[in-house]
């Protein structure tokens, strides 16, 4: 019986999701989070930027009686969300110091008569006596606390007002709380729970993997030239270029402007009017590129930032991950490129000169992690996730180190040696110390702990590899591959994991990567073509000409309504329109992210444009396709095409559509045979190494037939699976036949 009730609730939630937001599926934990808060329970949500936190309180607010209070630290962010909610036809408003008396009265009226669904409010305003009095008279469904890490002094953005929130909520009534954040170490999580007195609250933590982001590090050589070349290749796309100093910001913005890029600077040294104007110009697409110090970005919700370039190396991986996280929030393309030079690191080190000893030590640790990230040849995503305490068991196939690997090698004795060294020294030392030990390098502790007496270990590494750097790199790689673990209490200290302990007794060859040597690579690159086949010029399933026209129309409508363009329709929706050509209101409402509210508000001109385009170009529309096959089938195909465009793992696509891997591949084959180009490289690179791919590719190149049974026979002795063959056949056909 209970299950039945749940199912009814679930169905209605899904219906409302489609009707209001135009999405046909919940993402990740959204649904269960919403149920939790609807059940009146305190809820704690930790999700990376772009994962869809806002929906977790917006939707329950809409379906509940009364209004939800949303506490948010930034006025810009509130305005943004209020605009988006209003575009969906939802009554949401904010209360802050920028409002006139008349505006405040309107907010209060709507709150009291029950028509207001979401009230956004800054913590400062919440504490005001008069607001408190009025809130006590309203019906409130729950309280959402966005950017909840601001509560903690251990977070990176502490705001004292946040610490008073709980007391005030208590004054208003006994209300369920949903706290949300994108960054929280275990320590910060603990602070948040304690301060909000919700120790019992269920926590929903999602993976921090941002699958649509491509990570790349380039040597910082002729950086300006590389920058302009990249931006030119990505003309018209939104991007952020981060620089360390105000001076560099000015310099780079100026340089880009001179080269006809619509770029504007942003840093704390600009007067606040200019700063706001530049930010708005970026949001409204009057500027394509914003060149900024790290002061820029907090509260920027622009979902279609296509690239984030670190012109200078950042101070920590925390910062790097947060800044790169601003790319591709809509799940589409997001390229993250960093220009790296060791000189920049030395500069950063100098900045720390005047800090206290502890602060300087901490800063140096963080910087060392940054250097290691740049230098290691290991999959960038594995490195990043490992840093944030998440383990990924295979390479991602979608970062520079995966696409263009450094030299690989197999090691075994080396691994045994360092694991033993870790074990025999009591699991109390860091990578530097263990490298010192195996290379017999003097340091103050080796002798005092009598580590030089460890016969099987002391100096034993030099026979295998003389370089100290090799051993440090090996140890770092063993952490990422799960043989070693970092001690949470003591910075840098390494411990054996279960996998590591087992390895000593039962070893096998482990593949590791050589570190980058950016100077050497610079020389090689001179000869080769530098462009990696990602980011520009890749084949898409949508109609590019139509997409361009839709974007132009969106810009025009946005200007008329004085809203940022993405509030009208987001990029994924426009891309879908340029794939399925909706020409009626009903068809338009089927587009992901649209919904009837938006169709009625903004749809007309878009439908007209598409109808005209379809007619002029004699295009077979979704309607025509539907007649030939069944509705569902063509929907599934479109879904697959879009997900592959977004480089989503095939396993995930199969799961979302409840298909077996075999069925999914079959669907993909149909798509390809009917002439649509699909680029599966991101996936193929994950499951097959280059050599194997080349072998199969060559086979199809020379074979008489592309029949899979014949191919299977040919590869009978080589342990090649049917799935691999079929994927390579798709790749082959896409590249050559389509
Ligand atoms: P966060 O606050 O976690 O950084 P947002 O709430 O801004 O993320 O959401 C990021 C993007 O994802 C937005 O463009 C939003 O419209 C989109 N989004 C959220 N939920 C869904 C969903 N269920 N299906 C499709 N897109 C979604
Ligand atoms: Zn990778």
Distance of CA 395 from the midpoint of ligand 2 (Å): 5
The structural domains of the chain, ordered by start, are 7-205 (3.40.50.300), 213-355+366-375 (3.40.50.300), 407-514 (1.10.10.10), 542-616 (1.10.150.80), 635-736 (1.10.10.1390)
pLDDT band at 382 (very low <50, low <70, confident <90, very high): very high
pLDDT at 400 over 70: yes
What residue owns the CA closest to ligand 1's atom 12? Answer: 52
What residue owns the CA closest to ligand 1's atom 25? Answer: 23
Ligand nearest to the CA of 403: 2
pLDDT band at 116 (very low <50, low <70, confident <90, very high): very high
Alpha carbons 197 and 452: distance in angstroms, whole number: 52
- 51 CB within 6 A, ligand 1: yes
Residue 536: per-residue pLDDT:
35
Q: How far is CA 115 from the centre of its chain?
A: 35
Measured from the Cβ of residue 272, the count of other Cβ atoms closer than 10 Å reads 8
Percent of the chain with pLDDT over 70: 92
Ligand nearest to the CA of 397: 2
Higher pLDDT residue, 185 or 469? 469
pLDDT band at 562 (very low <50, low <70, confident <90, very high): confident
Owner of token pair 């709380």: 177
Alpha carbons 503 and 513: distance in angstroms, whole number: 19
Alpha carbons 617 and 622: distance in angstroms, whole number: 15
Residue 526: per-residue pLDDT:
59
Measured from the Cβ of residue 68, the count of other Cβ atoms closer than 10 Å reads 25
Atom number in ligand 1 closest to CA 27: 23
* Helix ranges, 142-262 (H): 165-172, 186-195, 223-233, 246-258
Alpha carbons 642 and 51: distance in angstroms, whole number: 18
Q: At what angle do helices 223-233 and 246-258 cross, to 10 degrees?
A: 50
Distance of CA 331 from the midpoint of ligand 1 (Å): 9
Whole-number Cα distances in Å, 118 to 56, 141, 179, 300, 601: 13, 10, 16, 20, 20
pLDDT at 3 over 70: no
What residue owns the CA closest to ligand 1's atom 18? Answer: 52
Atom number in ligand 1 closest to CA 30: 23
> For 134-146, how does the pLDDT look when each residue is reduced to its tens digit (9 = 90+)?
899 999 999 999 9
* pTM confidence score: 0.70
- 572 CB within 6 A, ligand 1: no
pLDDT at 722 over 50: yes
- 23 CB within 6 A, ligand 1: yes
Calculate the average pLDDT of the chain: 87
Q: Which of 263-277, 418-432, 609-623 has the lowest mean pLDDT?
A: 609-623
Counting ligand 1 atoms within 8 A of each CB, the residue from 15, 25, 55, 298 with the most, and so the one to mutate, is 55
Counting ligand 1 atoms within 8 A of each CB, the residue from 54, 303, 324, 642 with the most, and so the one to mutate, is 54
Owner of token pair 């019906």: 139
pLDDT at 304 over 50: yes
The DSSP-derived string for 576-591 is HHHHH---SHHHHHHS
Q: Are 92 and 86 in contact (CB under 8 A)?
A: yes
Distance of CA 487 from the midpoint of ligand 1 (Å): 34
pLDDT band at 628 (very low <50, low <70, confident <90, very high): very low
- 303 CB within 6 A, ligand 1: yes
Ligand nearest to the CA of 183: 1
Alpha carbons 110 and 67: distance in angstroms, whole number: 10
- 52 CB within 6 A, ligand 1: yes
Q: Are 676 and 708 in contact (CB under 8 A)?
A: no
Alpha carbons 283 and 294: distance in angstroms, whole number: 17
Owner of token pair 């063509």: 634
Q: Are 231 and 270 in contact (CB under 8 A)?
A: no
What residue owns the CA closest to ligand 1's atom 2? Answer: 53
Residue 671 is inside which H or E element, if any? helix 661-673
Distance of CA 316 from the midpoint of ligand 2 (Å): 20
Distance of CA 504 from the midpoint of ligand 1 (Å): 45
Alpha carbons 190 and 151: distance in angstroms, whole number: 11
pLDDT at 312 over 90: yes
- 27 CB within 6 A, ligand 1: yes
Ligand nearest to the CA of 399: 2
Residues in the chain, how many?
738
pLDDT at 366 over 80: yes
Residue 265: per-residue pLDDT:
96
Distance of CA 311 from the midpoint of ligand 2 (Å): 21
Q: Which of 16-20, 180-184, 436-440 has the lowest mean pLDDT?
A: 180-184
- 646 CB within 6 A, ligand 1: no
Atom number in ligand 1 closest to CA 301: 7
Atom number in ligand 1 closest to CA 303: 14
Atom number in ligand 1 closest to CA 17: 23
Ligand nearest to the CA of 213: 2
642-669 average pLDDT score: 87
State how beta strands 202-205 and 213-219 pair: unpaired
Query: Near ion ligand 2, which residues have CB within 5 Å?
Result: 379, 381, 395-396, 399, 402
Percent of the chain with pLDDT over 90: 50
- 55 CB within 6 A, ligand 1: yes
Ligand nearest to the CA of 209: 2
- 301 CB within 6 A, ligand 1: yes
- 655-659 long-range contacts, CB within 8 A, separation 24+: 656/25
Q: How far is CA 435 from the centre of its chain?
A: 34
Q: Backbone phi, then psi, for 202, in 5-degree steps? A: -75, 135
Alpha carbons 349 and 367: distance in angstroms, whole number: 8
Q: Which residues pair with 70 in a beta bridge?
A: 120, 144
Q: Are 181 and 157 in contact (CB under 8 A)?
A: no
61-89 average pLDDT score: 90
Residue 185: per-residue pLDDT:
66
Q: Are 218 and 337 in contact (CB under 8 A)?
A: yes
Residue 491: per-residue pLDDT:
75
pLDDT band at 630 (very low <50, low <70, confident <90, very high): very low
The DSSP-derived string for 10-60 is HHHHHHHIIIII--SS--TTHHHHHHHHHTT--EEEE--TTS--HHHHHHH
CB neighbour list of residue 628: distance below 8 Å, 6 or more residues apart: none
State how beta strands 213-219 and 494-496 pair: unpaired
Residue 620: per-residue pLDDT:
65
The DSSP-derived string for 275-297 is HHHHHHHHHTTS-SEEEE-TTS-
Counting ligand 1 atoms within 8 A of each CB, the residue from 33, 48, 52, 77 with the most, and so the one to mutate, is 52
What residue owns the CA closest to ligand 1's atom 14? Answer: 330
Atom number in ligand 1 closest to CA 25: 23
Ligand nearest to the CA of 572: 1
* Helix ranges, 506-630 (H): 518-527, 544-561, 565-568, 571-580, 585-590, 595-598, 604-617, 622-628
Distance of CA 716 from the midpoint of ligand 1 (Å): 46
Atom number in ligand 1 closest to CA 48: 3
Among residues 433, 315, 445, the alpha carbon closest in space to that of 368 is found at 315
Distance of CA 510 from the midpoint of ligand 2 (Å): 17
Q: Are 175 and 64 in contact (CB under 8 A)?
A: no
- 570 CB within 6 A, ligand 1: yes
What residue owns the CA closest to ligand 1's atom 13? Answer: 330
């Amino acid at each position: 019986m209970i299950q039945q009730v749940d199912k009814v609730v679930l169905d209605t939630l899904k219906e409302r999701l489609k009707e209001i937001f135009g999405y046909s599926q919940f993402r990740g934990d959204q649904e269960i989070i919403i149920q939790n808060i609807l059940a009146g329970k305190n809820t704690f949500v930790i999700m990376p930027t772009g994962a869809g936190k806002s929906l977790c309180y917006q939707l329950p607010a809409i379906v509940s009686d009364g209004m939800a209070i949303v506490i948010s630290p930034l006025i810009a962010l509130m305005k943004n969300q209020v605009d988006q909610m209003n575009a969906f036809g939802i009554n949401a408003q904010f209360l802050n110091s920028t409002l006139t008396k008349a505006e405040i009265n309107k907010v209060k009226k709507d709150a009291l008569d029950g028509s207001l669904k979401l009230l956004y409010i800054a913590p400062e305003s919440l504490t005001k006596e008069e607001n408190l009095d009025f809130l006590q008279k309203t019906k409130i469904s729950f309280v959402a606390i966005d950017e909840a890490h601001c509560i903690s002094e251990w977070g990176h953005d502490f705001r004292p007002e946040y610490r008073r929130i709980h007391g005030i909520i208590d004054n208003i009534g006994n209300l369920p709380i949903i706290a949300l954040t994108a960054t929280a170490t275990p320590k910060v999580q603990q602070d948040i729970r304690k301060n909000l007195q919700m120790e019992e609250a269920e926590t929903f933590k999602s993976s921090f993997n941002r699958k649509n982001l491509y990570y790349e590090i380039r040597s910082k050589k002729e950086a300006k030239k590389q920058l302009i070349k990249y931006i030119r290749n990505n003309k018209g796309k939104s991007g952020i270029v981060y620089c360390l100093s105000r001076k560099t910001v000015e310099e780079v913005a100026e340089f880009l402007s001179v080269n006809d890029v619509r770029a504007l600077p942003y840093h704390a040294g600009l007067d606040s009017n200019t700063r706001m104007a530049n930010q708005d110009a970026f949001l409204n697409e009057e500027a394509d590129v914003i060149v900024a110090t790290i002061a820029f970005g907090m509260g920027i919700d622009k979902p279609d930032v296509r690239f984030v370039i670190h012109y200078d190396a950042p101070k920590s991986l925390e910062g790097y991950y947060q800044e790169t996280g601003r790319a591709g929030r809509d799940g589409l393309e997001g390229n993250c490129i960093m220009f790296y030079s060791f000189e920049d690191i030395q500069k950063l080190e100098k900045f720390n000169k005047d800090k206290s000893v502890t602060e300087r030590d901490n800063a140096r640790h963080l910087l060392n992690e940054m250097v290691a990230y740049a230098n290691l040849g290991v999959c960038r995503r594995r490195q990043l996730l490992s840093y944030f305490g998440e383990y990924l068991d295979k390479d991602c196939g979608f970062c520079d180190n995966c696409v263009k690997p450094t030299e690989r090698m197999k090691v075994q004795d080396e691994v045994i040696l360092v694991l033993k060294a870790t074990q025999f020294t009591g699991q109390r030392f860091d990578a530097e110390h263990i490298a010192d030990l195996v290379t017999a390098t003097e340091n103050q502790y080796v002798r005092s702990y009598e580590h030089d007496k460890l016969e099987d270990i002391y100096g034993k590494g030099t026979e295998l590899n003389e370089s100290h750097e090799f051993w440090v790199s090996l140890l770092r790689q063993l952490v990422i591959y799960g043989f070693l673990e970092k001690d949470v209490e003591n910075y840098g200290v390494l411990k054996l994991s279960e996998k590591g302990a087992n390895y000593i007794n039962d070893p096998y060859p482990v593949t590791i990567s050589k570190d980058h040597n950016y100077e050497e690579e610079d020389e090689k690159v001179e000869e080769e073509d530098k462009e990696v086949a990602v980011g520009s010029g890749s084949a898409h399933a949508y109609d590019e000409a139509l997409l361009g026209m839709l974007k132009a129309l969106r810009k025009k409508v946005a200007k008329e309504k004085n809203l940022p363009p993405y509030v009208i329709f987001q990029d994924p929706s426009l891309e879908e329109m340029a794939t399925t050509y909706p020409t009626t209101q009903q068809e338009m409402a089927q587009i992901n992210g649209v919904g009837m509210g938006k169709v009625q508000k903004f749809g007309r001109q878009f439908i007209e444009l598409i109808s005209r385009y379809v007619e002029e170009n004699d295009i077979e529309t979704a309607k025509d396709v539907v007649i030939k096959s069944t509705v569902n089938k063509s929907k599934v195909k479109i879904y697959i095409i879009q997900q592959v465009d977004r480089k989503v793992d095939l396993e995930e696509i199969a799961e979302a559509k409840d298909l077996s891997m075999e069925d999914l591949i079959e669907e993909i084959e149909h798509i390809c045979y009917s002439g649509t180009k699909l680029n599966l490289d991101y996936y193929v690179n994950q499951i097959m190494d280059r050599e194997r791919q080349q072998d199969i590719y060559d086979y199809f190149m020379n074979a008489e037939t592309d029949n899979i049974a014949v191919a299977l026979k040919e590869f009978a002795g080589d342990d090649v699976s049917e799935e691999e063959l079929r994927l390579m056949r798709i790749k082959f056909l896409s590249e050559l036949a389509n």
